Amino acid sequence: SSAYHPQTDGQTERIIQSLEDLLRTCVLDHLGSWEEVLPLVEFSYNNSFHLSIGMAPFEALYGRRCRTPLCWF
């Protein structure tokens, strides 16, 4: 975080901690490498509801919910 932006204090650190926890869980549960599970972790994080913004990051960025392949059927 930047010294000139006190409103960002801790936000980046919380995001990194969340992603690290997700990666660790996926790697330990599925005995894979982090490179293999990173796309799944990224997708999960970007499409999960975040209380701070009241929606998923994908929805905040694109103005709509993500359509997964499961929604196509």
> Taking the domains of the chain in order of start, what are their residue ranges?
19-62
* pLDDT for residue 3: 62
* Cα atoms in the 13 Å half-sphere on the side-chain side of 58: 13
Each residue's pLDDT expressed in tens, for the chain with a length of 73 residues? 456 665 566 777 888 888 899 888 888 887 778 888 888 888 988 999 998 899 999 999 999 999 877 766 6
C-alpha–C-alpha distance, residues 15 and 26, integer Å: 17
* pLDDT for residue 58: 95
CB 61 within 8 A of CB 54: no
Q: Let me know if 38 is exposed, middle or buried by CB neighbors in 10 A (0-12, 13-18, 19+).
A: middle
Model pTM greater than 0.95? no
* pLDDT for residue 5: 64
C-alpha–C-alpha distance, residues 12 and 2, integer Å: 10
